[in-house]
Amino acid sequence: MLPTFSPTASASPVTPPPRPIPGSYGPPVLGPLRDRLDYFWFQSQDEFFRRRATANRSTVFRTNIPPTFPFFIGIDPRVVAIVDADAFTALFDPDLVDKRDILIGPYNPGTGFTGGSRVGVYLDTEEPEHGRTKNFAMALLHRSAQTWATELRAGVDGMLDTVEAELAKASGDNLSANYIIPLQQCIFRFLCKALVGADPSVDWAVDKFGFTILDIWLALQILPTQKIGAIQPLEELLIHSFPLPSFIIWPGYNLLYRFVEKHGAEAVAYAEKEHGIGEKDAINNLLFVLGFNAFGGFSVFLPFLVAKIGEAADPSALRPRLREEVRGVLRACGDDGAEFGFKAVREMPLVRSTVYEMLRMSPPVPLQFGRARKDFVLRSHGDVFQVSKGEVLCGYQPLAMRDPEVFERPEEFVPERFIGDEGQALLRHLFWSNGPETSQPAAGNKQCAAKEVVVDTACMLVAELFRRYDDFEVEGTSFTKLVKRQPSPSLSAAAAGAPQ
C-alpha cells in the first residue's frame, strides 16, 4: 500500500513554504549504478518506487532512473520522482513541463528507429510540428471511425477462431491455447486497415511478418529501460548498458515503409494536403502511431484485461455480470449485432468501469516524463516543493493511481469503481492517457490522441468475448476454457415450436 506522508490540502489552509525535495542521487557513478541494480535486479519497478517513497517519507523524491549508460553516452539519470495523484498533474501542464525527446525518459532511442524523422510523440507542444502531427493523428482516428468497429470485430473473430482450434487440439494436462500471437495478428491487421487504410493481405510478407517486425522494432527501442528477467548479470551487461542499434531492424522497417507508401497512399496524401506534412514525415509518423502507440499500447493492455476478467477464481462474479450486461445491450441491438458499434458499448457501464479499473491498476505506459520549463512550486496534497528549471520529473502512474488520498481500497481491483456519480467524479484521477480521463487531447497538450478510442476498443473486445462465449477462463496468456454461447431459452423454445 502506498503510504500517506502529507497532510491533505483541507487540513492545512495556509500553504507552507516550499521544502527541499528529499532523496539523494548518491555519489557519481556508484549512486546511479546502485539505483539501476535495484530497479532491474534486486527490486521490481513497483518496489523501487515504494521503497524510496517510504524511506524519504514523501511521495515526491529524488532518485536516478535507469538506464545508466557509460558517461560518454551522456545521459543524465537524475529525476524528481512523483508517486501521488496531486503532484502528478504537473506533468500534464504544458506551461510547466517541456516534453521534447523525453517520451521514455532521459534516454531517447533516436531517429534511427523512425526513418530519420522526429515523430510527433517526441515533440514538445511549443514546436509547431507537434500541432501538425497531433492534428493528423486525431483526424486519422476521426476518419477511421466508420471502419474501426467492423474491422476490430472481424479481427477478433479471426483470433478467436484460431484460439478455439488450438484449444480443440490440446489434450491431456495441457488444456490451454496461447492467444498472444493471434491477438497481435488481429491488432496488426485491424489497425492497418482502420488507421492507415491499407489491407496487409495484399502483401504476403507484411501480412505474415508485420507484427513480428513491430515487436522487434519496439523491443530495440524500449528494452534498455525494461526489466526482462533474463539471467543476471547478462541482462545488465547486454541489454541495459548501451543503446541498442537501430540498423538491425532497417530492412523490416523499410518493408513496412514501402507498404504504407503504396497501400496507405491516400492517408499519406491527406497528411500532405490537409496538414502540411511532407511524404517522408507522414509515413514515419503513420508507422509510429500504428506501431508504437497503437500496436504497442494494445499489445500490452489487452492481455492485462483479458487475463484479469478471465481469472478462474472470479471472486466478485464479474464474468456473469459482464455477460448479462453485454447480452442485454446486444438484445437491444437486435442480437444479430448489425448495429453493434461504439455507440452500443458506451451503454455498458460495468464493462466500461472494468476497463477503467484495469487502466488504473495496470496502466500500460507506467512512466511519464517532462523537463521543468522554469522554476516552479510543485504541490503534493498539503506539501509544496521547489522544482528548478531543467530538472526532469518522472511520474510513476501505478502508484499515483493508487493514491489513498484519492481512492478508497486503492490496492483492490473494484470493477464497479467508476460507476455512478461518485465513480464518474473519480475519472479526473485516471491518468493512463497522460492526462485526466475528464480532459480531451488537443494540439496544445500531450494527452493520447486516442483516449476515447482506446477505451471503446477495449470495451468492444470484452463485449465480443461475451457475445461468443457464456464463460471463459484464462491463465496468464492462455485460454484454458471456452464455453460457447448457448441459445437463450426463449430462442430455443421458439425454435422448438417452429414448424419444420
Positions in 367-406 near ligand HEM (CB under 6 A): 368
Using CB under 6 A as the binding rule, whether residue 152 contacts ligand HEM is answered as: no
275 binds ligand HEM per the rule CB under 6 A = no
Distance CA 325, CA 20 (A): 51
Name the residue nearer to ligand HEM (CB basis): 56 or 433.
433
Counting residues that bind ligand HEM (by CB under 6 A) gives: 25
d(C-alpha 404, C-alpha 242), whole Å: 38
Q: Which of residues 301-360 bind ligand HEM (CB under 6 A)?
A: 301
The span from the CA of 437 to the CA of 433, in Å, is: 7
Strand residues in 339-380 grouped as ranges (E): 367-372, 376-380
CB-based closest residue to ligand HEM: 297
Q: Is 52 in the site for ligand HEM (CB under 6 A)?
A: no
Closer to ligand HEM at the Cβ: 291 or 410?
Answer: 291
**Taking the complex as a whole, how short is the minimal distance between the CB of residue 481 and ligand HEM, in angstroms?**
26
* Residue pair 62/24 in contact by the 8 Å Cβ criterion: yes
Helices (H), 89-176: 128-143, 145-169
Residue 470 in grid coordinates: 457464456
Neighbours of 411 (CB within 10 A): 10
Taking CB under 6 A as the rule, does residue 198 contact ligand HEM?
no
CA dist., res. 161 & res. 164, Å (int): 5
From the number of C-beta atoms within 10 Å of its C-beta (0-12, 13-18, 19+), residue 72 rates as: exposed
Residues at the binding site for heme are 448
Helices 250-263 and 204-222, axial angle in degrees (round to 10): 130
Among 187, 294, 378, 426, binds ligand HEM (CB under 6 A): 294
Contact of 436 with 93, CB cutoff 8 Å:
no
Choice from 65, 152, 218, 289 touching ligand HEM (CB under 6 A): 289
**135 scored as a contact of ligand HEM (CB under 6 A):** no
Q: Which of 99, 445, 444, 136 is nearest to 286 (CA)?
A: 136
**Which three three-digit cell numbers place residue 193?**
486497415
Provide the 3-class DSSP secondary structure of residue 273: helix
Tell me which of 239, 249, 449, 482 binds ligand HEM, using CB under 6 A: 449
Q: Does 292 bind ligand HEM (CB under 6 A)?
A: no
293 closest CA partner among 122, 124, 57: 122
Give alpha helix (H) positions in 175-248: 180-191, 204-222, 234-238
Question: Does the footprint of ligand HEM cover residue 186 (CB under 6 A)?
Answer: no
Instruction: Work out whether 414 is an interface residue with ligand HEM (CB under 6 A).
Output: no
Strands 392-396 and 367-372: antiparallel
Neighbour count for residue 78 (Cβ, 10 Å): 18
The answer to whether 202 and 214 are in contact (CB under 8 A) is no
Identity of the residue, 118 or 134, whose beta carbon is nearer to ligand HEM in the bound complex: 134
- Residue from the set 137, 277, 400, 463 that interacts with ligand HEM by CB under 6 A: 137
> Which one of 53, 87, 96, 121 is in contact with ligand HEM (CB under 6 A)?
121
Instruction: Return the sign of the alpha-carbon dihedral for residues 478, 431, 185, 205.
Output: negative
Residue 82 touching ligand HEM (CB under 6 A): no
CB closer to ligand HEM, 287 vs 330: 287
Selected binder of ligand HEM within 353, 362, 434, 478 (CB under 6 A): 434
362 CA to centre of own chain? 9
Residue closer to ligand HEM (CB basis): 138 or 482: 138
**88 binds ligand HEM, rule: CB under 6 A:** no
Segment interacting with ligand HEM, rule: CB under 6 A, options 6-14, 257-265, 289-297, 336-344: 289-297
Q: Does 221 bind ligand HEM (CB under 6 A)?
A: no
Q: Does the footprint of ligand HEM cover residue 197 (CB under 6 A)? A: no
Taking the least distance from each CB to ligand HEM, the nearer of 58 and 135 is 135
Nearer to ligand HEM, 266 or 339 (CB): 266
Query: DSSP secondary structure string, 388-425?
Result: -TTPEEEEEHHHHTT-TTT-SSTTS--TTTT-HHHHHH
Cβ proximity to ligand HEM, 64 vs 125, nearer residue? 125
For residue 93, give the H/E element and its range. Answer: none
Among 364, 382, 410, 436, binds ligand HEM (CB under 6 A): 364
SS3 471: strand
Residue 277 interacting with ligand HEM (CB under 6 A): no
Residue type, position 25, single letter: Y
Q: Considering the complex, what minimum distance in angstroms separates the CB of residue 211 from ligand HEM?
A: 15
- Is residue 21 near ligand HEM by the rule CB under 6 A? no
- Scanning 27-35, 296-304, 401-409, 461-469 for contacts with ligand HEM by CB under 6 A, the matching segment is 296-304
Interface residues toward ligand HEM, by CB under 6 A: 99, 103, 120-121, 134, 137, 141, 289, 293-294, 297-298, 301, 364-365, 368, 432-434, 446, 448-450, 453-454
